[in-house]
Amino acid sequence: MPTRMMTTIHPPPSSGNSDDNDASKEATNKGTLTLDASCAPANIRYPQDISLLNEAREKLETIIYRFCKSYGLPLPRRYKKRARKDYLAFAKSKKHSAKKIRKALRKQLGYVARDIGYLEKFMSDGYAMTDKEISLYLTIITLYEQQKYMYDNKVHSVEHRIVSISQPWLRPIVRGKVKAPVEFGAKFDLSLDSEGYGRIEKISFEAYNESTCLIEAVERFKERTGYYPERVLADQIYRTRENRSYCKEHGIRLSGPKLGRPSATAKVDKKQEYQDNTDRIEVERRFSLSKRCYGMSCITTKLEETQLTSIALSVFVTNLFRIQRRILCALLHLFRFWCDWSRCKSWKLQISA
């Protein structure tokens, strides 16, 4: 009998917009990256100009006393009691008018300037400070120049403003929250991957625009996983034109409404936007958990390096407890499976008996 010939039919070559390209695009973009910024406030009192100048005056008087005692110099007139009396008179008054504030500032600036003049005279005569006193003296000089500039120009802000003499690296971070519109500590960007583990993308004591961190965070995600995220969940401040064009170029969907007029798929876009906002709440929950349970709400360390370490450890411990919960859930699942299997085995033995 003649054998039937088996023929294979080859499909026609696919065009550039086929399902294969969609599959390759899905292979290159996976997962979700959530990004947001927060502040870890330090444990300092609320900085006021007059209280900072009074603290600077007291520290300068201590340095002057140490100079005179060490080198056998006569103590100059510092008006210590009068300066203290003027400060307490302002601090204990209930109402602080603008005129009263400027008067108190002028007095405290005069006391600080007099003490600085004494120390400059001592050092010009050849007497030296200790290493600890040098850093403190330079901080007070910078503080005095900033306060004098604001007093002369009648302004209330200055670049790189010092808010703590003992911790001069701290800066005011404007957050705009109802409870604390301005916080004093390190500002950092936290990212969450698809597994829910947090990473610090950028941290600084200086205020910065967090929208500049999105591209760097996405590139680090690519280095860790080998592919770009499928979507990026971020706040409105991250949705700049540069970030939008970058995400569009790499096939990443950035959360939030699109620019321009609403399209025909406005209802679908609103539904997707609502789902993205719901998923983005996880990073806010992570901030709340770290600040309530793991010490990020008030950094009590005193050095710049230890403060950064405390913030990093808080994020690290939060990830550890998440790993612990996942392990416990897996063990409970295995235990339930083993219980069901043993119950089924005993039931079969009873039936066979």
Sequence spans of domains, the chain: 29-43+169-255+267-326, 49-153
Distance of alpha carbon 199 from alpha carbon 188, whole angstroms: 10
Digit-coded pLDDT (tens) for 30-68: 889 999 999 999 999 999 999 999 999 999 999 999 988
CATH topology of domain 29-43+169-255+267-326: Nucleotidyltransferase; domain 5 (3.30.420)
Residues 6+ away with beta carbon under 8 Å from 102: 151
Q: Residue 23 has what pLDDT?
A: 46
Q: Which of the two residues, 105 and 276, has the higher pLDDT score?
A: 105
Mean pLDDT of 271-296: 88
Q: Is the pTM of this model over 0.85?
A: no
Q: Quick one: pLDDT at residue 335?
A: 82
213, 14 contact by CB (below 8 A): no
Q: Which residue has the tokens 């919960």?
A: 325
266 vs 179, which has greater pLDDT? 179
Higher local confidence (pLDDT), 94 or 346: 94
Q: What is the pLDDT of residue 349?
A: 64
Find out whether 166 and 180 touch, Cβ atoms under 8 Å.
no
Region 17-29: mean pLDDT is 53
Question: What is the percent of the chain where pLDDT is above 70?
Answer: 88
Output the pLDDT for position 6: 39
User: 31 with 225: CB under 8 angstroms?
Assistant: yes
Cβ contact 82:140 at 8 Å: no
The Cα 140–Cα 144 span in angstroms is 6
